[in-house]
């Protein structure tokens, strides 16, 4: 029995190491060359290349947003206007639990991948796991660059499809008011928030707070607090001052660390933004607040105990000070071993440069196209500012002081500030 087990183990070990222990391939694909050409083309030219490449084939995409599945039929319709005989079948996958990175990594090991492109969030992991490793390539459509006044040769950022915002909102059926972003971390307050270890963009938000410009915003908001409230926060600021120095943050870094510490040690974990929204809109949720995706409010049905009017967007108050929430992007990439690189580029250009292409996201409030022209046209078509009370991307960035994700910065501090955050004791009730 023992001998048998040992022999079996040995054989399996050898076989398995052969299978799983192989190093990733070194050779580069032709995709980057195709992207370089594609970046000089108009949408129509790309469309024709796509038709040539993918007619009658199957297109596989993978993304954090399920709406890629709704955008693809529109894209096919568009290509049919160029060639009415064009056909394309497609499959859009939406993995969970951060699996998108594992899936893309596994797919990258093949000479020719399954996925043509991806729509992905979490700038930190994209930078460290996908871009630096050469798994994903950035394609910047010509029209998008033009609308954003970008010189491609100088631009090193990624291509964002849209920015989503998560904003502070509170139930207004009680007496409490939240007029400063520090109010959300005062002793005894417990905001509802998706756990930073289950939705990583939340962790990136905390990393971003330590960036000098956002740390300064926190300092400015702190300065606006009355002395009684300052006294409640000061011990925490003092306690993290040395940590801020050790982490090589600037002079306002201690305010960022203090806010992070107070937030992590006080927020109540909820599985998703949907349940947070469901909780806050109930009349009985007196004085509760949360940090959640703005667009969740769109689906609330008015009943006798549930109403959107039970909720106040903190930043929309005239006397509100400090950040109103944070913004993160859905980025678009072509896989470096894409089986249909031209089609992927055309699809990406279609989503980022046309209002029809963006419609799958644009039809609902709270998602802002990265292309100013598409953003304007989307507003004209759907009138979110008028109908839903949304104040729009520019307002959120300038007045709402949205904390915007910077993938490079997140990646830089992920194991410094990140390790410091991991040592904090999360609130458990």
Partner 1 sequence: MEIINARPISKGKLFWAKVKTFFSKPQNVILVLMGIICTFTTFAPIIAIINDTIQIHPGTIDAHLTGKTEGYTLINYIDLFTGPLAKINLWTPLLNTLILAICSCLVSIIYGGLFAFLVTRTNLKLKKYLSSIFIFPYIMPQWTLAMVWQNLFDSIAVTGTKNGLLAGLFNITMPLWWCQGLFPSILVLGLHYAPFAYILIGGIFRNMDANLEEAATILDTPKWKIMTRVTLPLIKPAILSTILLVFGSSMGSYPVPHFLRLTTLSTKYLEMNVSRAGEASILAVIMMFLGIGIMYFNQRSLKSKKSYTTVTGKSGQTSVINIGKAGKHIVAAIFFIITFFTSVFPIISFAFETFLPNPGDYSFFYTWNANNLTTKWWTTSENLTESGMYGQKGMLYNETIWRGFGGTMLVSVCSALLAGTLGTLIGYAVSKNRRSKLSSYVNGVAFLPYLMPSVAVGVAFFVLFSNEYFNLYNTYLLIIIVGTVKYIPFASRSSLNSMLQLSGEIEEAALIQGIPWHKRMLNIIIPIQKSTIISGYLLPFMTCLRELSLFMLLCVQGFILSTSLDYFDEMGLYAFSSGINLILIVTILIFNTLVNKITGASLDKGIGG
Q: Does 125 bind partner 1 (CB under 8 A)?
A: yes
Looking at residues 362 to 401 of the shown chain, list those that interact with partner 1 (rule: CB under 8 A). 363-364
Among 288, 352, 354, 371, binds partner 1 (CB under 8 A): 288
Q: Does 132 bind partner 1 (CB under 8 A)?
A: yes
Looking at residues 92 to 111 of the shown chain, list those that interact with partner 1 (rule: CB under 8 A). 93-99, 102-103, 105-107, 109-111
Measured from the CB atom, the residue of 186 and 397 that comes closer to partner 1 is: 186
Dihedral angle, C-alpha 334, 337, 340, 345, nearest 10 °? 20
Please state the closest distance from residue 267 (CB atom) to partner 1, in A. Answer: 9
CA 260, CA 283: separation in Å to the nearest integer?
30
Q: Which two tokens stand for residue 403?
A: 């904390």
Helices 341-353, 43-54: crossing angle, 10 deg rounding: 140
Looking at residues 179 to 198 of the shown chain, list those that interact with partner 1 (rule: CB under 8 A). 190, 192, 197-198
Measured from the CB atom, the residue of 277 and 375 that comes closer to partner 1 is: 277
Looking at residues 51 to 70 of the shown chain, list those that interact with partner 1 (rule: CB under 8 A). 67
Residue with tokens 């982490």: 247
CA 199, CA 272: separation in Å to the nearest integer?
9
Measured from the CB atom, the residue of 241 and 282 that comes closer to partner 1 is: 282
Please state the closest distance from residue 179 (CB atom) to partner 1, in A. Answer: 21
Q: Does 271 bind partner 1 (CB under 8 A)?
A: yes
| Beta-sheet strands, E only, within 268-402 | 268-270, 289-293, 311-313, 325-335, 367-369
Question: In the chain, what is the greatest distance between 2 CA atoms, to the nearest angstrom?
Answer: 78
Return the H-helix or E-strand segment holding 167: strand 159-171
Q: Does 272 bind partner 1 (CB under 8 A)?
A: yes
Question: How many Cβ atoms sit within 10 Å of the Cβ of residue 303?
Answer: 10
Q: Does 200 bind partner 1 (CB under 8 A)?
A: yes
Q: How far is CA 89 from CA 79, 300, 343, 371, in A?
A: 13, 34, 12, 28
Question: Which listed range, 40-48, 145-153, 214-222, 280-288, lies at the site for partner 1 (CB under 8 A)?
Answer: 280-288
Number of residues that bind partner 1 (CB under 8 A): 83
Answer whether 119's CB lies under 8 Å from 63's CB: yes
CA 240, CA 250: separation in Å to the nearest integer?
13
Q: Does 422 bind partner 1 (CB under 8 A)?
A: yes
Sign, CA dihedral 308-311-316-318, equals positive
Please state the closest distance from residue 2 (CB atom) to partner 1, in A. Answer: 9
Q: Identify the three-state secondary structure at position 64.
A: coil
Please state the closest distance from residue 318 (CB atom) to partner 1, in A. Answer: 28
Residues 6+ apart with CB under 8 A from 250: 212, 215
Question: Which listed range, 90-98, 142-150, 235-243, 325-333, lies at the site for partner 1 (CB under 8 A)?
Answer: 90-98
Helices 253-264, 212-223: crossing angle, 10 deg rounding: 80
Q: Does 175 bind partner 1 (CB under 8 A)?
A: no
Question: Which listed range, 32-40, 230-238, 251-259, 274-282, lies at the site for partner 1 (CB under 8 A)?
Answer: 274-282
Measured from the CB atom, the residue of 37 and 70 that comes closer to partner 1 is: 70
Please state the closest distance from residue 18 (CB atom) to partner 1, in A. Answer: 9
Answer whether 305's CB lies under 8 Å from 312's CB: no
Looking at residues 17 to 56 of the shown chain, list those that interact with partner 1 (rule: CB under 8 A). 17, 19-25
CA 135, CA 335: separation in Å to the nearest integer?
6
Please state the closest distance from residue 200 (CB atom) to partner 1, in A. Answer: 6
Residue with tokens 């580029």: 345
Question: Which listed range, 40-48, 51-59, 81-89, 282-290, lies at the site for partner 1 (CB under 8 A)?
Answer: 282-290
Q: Does 268 bind partner 1 (CB under 8 A)?
A: yes
Question: Which listed range, 1-9, 42-50, 229-237, 247-255, lies at the site for partner 1 (CB under 8 A)?
Answer: 1-9
């Amino acid at each position: 029995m023992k001998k048998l087990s040992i022999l079996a183990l040995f054989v399996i070990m050898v076989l398995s190491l052969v299978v799983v222990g192989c190093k990733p391939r070194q050779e580069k694909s032709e995709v980057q060359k195709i992207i370089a050409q594609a970046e000089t083309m108009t949408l129509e030219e790309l469309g024709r290349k796509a038709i040539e490449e993918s007619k009658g084939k199957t297109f596989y995409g993978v993304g954090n947003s399920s709406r890629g599945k709704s955008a693809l039929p529109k894209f096919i319709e568009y290509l049919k206007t160029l060639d009415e005989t064009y056909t394309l079948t497609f499959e859009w996958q939406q993995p969970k639990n951060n699996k998108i990175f594992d899936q893309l990594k596994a797919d990258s090991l093949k000479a020719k991948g399954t996925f043509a492109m991806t729509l992905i969030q979490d700038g930190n992991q994209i930078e460290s796991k996908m871009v630096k490793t050469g798994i994903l390539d950035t394609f910047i459509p010509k029209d998008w660059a033009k609308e954003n006044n970008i010189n491609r040769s100088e631009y090193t950022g990624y291509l964002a499809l849209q920015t989503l915002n998560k904003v502070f909102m509170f139930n207004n059926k009680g007496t409490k008011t939240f007029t400063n972003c520090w109010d959300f971390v005062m002793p005894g307050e417990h905001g509802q928030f998706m756990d930073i270890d289950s939705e990583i963009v939340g962790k990136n938000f905390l990393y971003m707070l330590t960036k000098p410009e956002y740390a300064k915003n926190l300092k400015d908001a702190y300065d606006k607090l009355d002395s009684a409230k300052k006294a409640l926060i000061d011990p925490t600021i003092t306690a993290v001052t040395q940590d801020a120095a050790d982490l090589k943050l600037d002079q306002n870094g201690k305010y960022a660390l203090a806010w992070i510490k107070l937030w992590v040690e006080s927020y109540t974990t909820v599985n998703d933004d949907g349940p947070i929204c469901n909780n806050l809109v109930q009349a009985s949720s007196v004085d509760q607040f949360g940090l959640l995706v703005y667009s969740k409010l769109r689906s609330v049905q008015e009943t006798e105990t549930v109403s959107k009017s039970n909720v106040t967007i903190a930043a929309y108050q005239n006397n509100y000070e400090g950040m109103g929430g944070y913004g993160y992007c859905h980025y678009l990439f072509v896989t470096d071993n894409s089986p249909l690189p031209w089609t992927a580029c055309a699809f990406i250009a279609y989503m980022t440069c046309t209002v029809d292409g963006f419609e799958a996201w644009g039809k609902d409030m709270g998602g802002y196209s990265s292309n100013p022209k598409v953003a304007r046209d989307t507003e004209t078509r759907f009138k979110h500012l008028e109908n839903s009370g949304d104040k729009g991307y520019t307002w959120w960035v300038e007045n709402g002081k949205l904390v915007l994700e910077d993938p490079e910065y997140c990646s830089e501090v992920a194991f410094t500030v990140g390790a410091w955050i991991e040592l904090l004791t999360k609130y458990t009730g």
